[in-house]
Structure 1
Amino acid sequence: MKSKDKPQERLDDLLIDNMKLWQRTDQFCFAIDAVILAHFPKFHEKRSYADLGTGTGVIPLLMTTRGAKQITAIEVNPLMAELAARNVILNKKEAYIEVVEADYCQLVGSPWVGRFDGLVINPPYFNALQGKPPDTVDVSLARHETNYTLGDIAQSAARLVKYRGQVWWIYGAERLVDLLVALRAVKLEPKRIRFVHSFPNTKAKLVLVESTKGGQVGMLTEAPLYIYEQPNVYSEEVRSWYERN
């Protein structure tokens, strides 16, 4: 449903927990990878979390349905930060989610260093030379390493998370080595990995990685996640995310 007052906005149904989400057609809109990432960690109500580069706030909203109750949603784009704040209010999640307009790569010193028990992050999948250039600068920032490299992003995550805290990532499978190298360089040890396929018998397009700050060497490879069992039909696992509500 489009907004009469703001024609570039539309209201989408998340189909989970009766939540809805305002999005802008001229900005980066969430896709299934956000839903997948929100279902990868195990959340605890007494632990603090942050979503780095929250966009519309979709991942924190989904996190609240899975037990998280202390979430900081950080977004550098003022338009998206304002939209995320409105989505939090729309879904009556103000008690659980705080939206902060900031560049998470520039958050240094107190009270940010080592502040969070866990972080979720859906970083840009492409470096500056990869992929088709988006139509707008804002969308480019969400998709490409325009201002910061993957190493910069990993370093920022390592700074914000507590010792022994966890950082959960979703990333393009073809750049998995880049991600693992970047994580090890900042002592975010990869501990759990899961490949994401569109269909069975197709190559993985995405990968989920759980890393622990100061963790011991040793990584568990989980069974693959298939998004669809056939065209336009979600797999049993993905359907369960929606059907449990």
Structure 2
Amino acid sequence: MDNQIKSDQLPTAAAGEVEPFTIDDFLGGALRLRQPRDGYRISMDTVLLAASVQAKPGETVLEGGVGSGGAALCLAHRLPGVKVYGIDMQDHMLAYARQNILENNLSEQVTVEHGSIKDLSCPEATYDHVMINPPYLAAGKAIRPPAETKGLAHMDSTANLKDWIKFCIYQVKNRGTVTIIYRADRMDEVIAHLYRRVGELKIMPLWPRLGSPAKRVIIQGRKGIHGASKLLPGLALHGEQDRYTEEAEAILRKGKSLQL
């Protein structure tokens, strides 16, 4: 581990500063991940996205906007033998991701590098699966979060939703899957951008609790396939109390897959 980054040297976007960070448990402690204390942080959405991708040993998965590596590492932990790649524009977030890869002994499975989802100069149709958790807010539609990493993660800046989906379609192999977690009130935009390019869509609502409107949806489809879309039964995340439901607990704490 000669290339290991010391915990007190993780950079911020401002050169020469040290960013306060936390070390947090995921998947019931199976993973321990460093992340900025005040910037973009790994969320429930991150874990649910990773749980939705069903890859086979020997297949490849690409994540656009990998951040500190949460989704990539959750997926790699659940699916030994699958190669996971991630790109991100923020070098200091990639520093977290590389540290997390090393400390969780997943260097053989997970690789991250600097890259933009708008750069389509690389070879087309390279990966078996592509997954994204794109910014939820359209530029100009809300107040941008003050932390730079959170602002880039939550609001369109250099790329919009159409750019993110174009990236997925470009990168995934024919018949491969595209998996997106996004706001339920903008799922019509996602479906419109996938139309005629990605089909057999499976749409899973994620309800905060039974009886509440879904705030998030997972949309998964296959490139070059024109089958009918399916609205799935969905997943309730919390019960009557604030505790996770049994189904959500199995995914978020025990690392089970989310079958679409």
Q: TM-score, normalised by structure 1?
A: 0.92
Q: What CA distance in whole angstroms lies between the structure 1 residues aligned with 2:88 and 2:255?
A: 30
Q: For this pair of structures, how many residues does the alignment match?
A: 240
How far 1:4 moved relative to its partner? Answer: 6.4
Aligned-pair identity (%):
23
Residue 110 (structure 2) pairs with residue 97 (structure 1): yes
Select the residue among 199, 214, 238 that pairs with 2:224.
214
For structure 1, the 5+ residue unaligned runs are: none
- CA shift at 1:190, angstroms? 5.0
Aligned counterpart, 2:157: 146
Aligned to 2:48: 36
Moved over 4 A (4+): 3-7
Does the 8 Å CA contact 1:180/1:190 hold for their aligned counterparts?
Answer: no
- Residue 169 (structure 1) aligned with residue 180 (structure 2): yes
- Selected match of 1:13 from 4, 22, 25: 25
Shift of 1:78: 0.5
Q: Which amino acid aligns with 2:50?
A: A
1:133: Cα distance to partner? Answer: 1.5
Contact 2:83 2:110 in 1 (8 A): yes
Residue 81 (str. 1) matches residue 94 (str. 2):
yes
Post-superposition shift, 1:202? 0.3
Question: Structure 1: how far apart are the matches of 2:235 and 2:111?
Answer: 31
* Counterpart pick for 1:70 among 74, 77, 83: 83
Deviations 1:151-185 (A, max 9, x none): 11111111111111111000000001111001116
Change (3 A) 1:23 1:158: same
Unmatched tracts of structure 2, length 5 or more: 1-6, 10-17
In structure 1, the partner of 2:198 is: 188
SS for the counterpart of 1:148 is coil
Question: Which residue type is aligned with residue 236 of structure 2?
Answer: Y
Specify whether residues 62 and 151 from structure 1 end up closer, same or farther in structure 2 by C-alpha distance, changes over 3 A only. Answer: same
Q: Distance in 2 between matches of 1:18 and 1:100?
A: 24
Judging changes above 3 Å, is the alpha-carbon distance between structure 1 residues 139 and 56 closer, same or farther for their aligned structure 2 residues? same
| Secondary structure in 2 matching 1:234 | coil
1:22-54 deviation per Cα after TM superposition (whole angstroms, max 9, x unaligned): 011242111111111111121211111111101
Distance 1:49 1:95 in 2: 14
- Where 2:118 maps in the other structure, the secondary structure is helix
- The answer to whether the 8 Å contact 1:195/1:207 transfers is yes
SS in 1 for 2:40: coil
What is the match of residue 59 of structure 2?
47
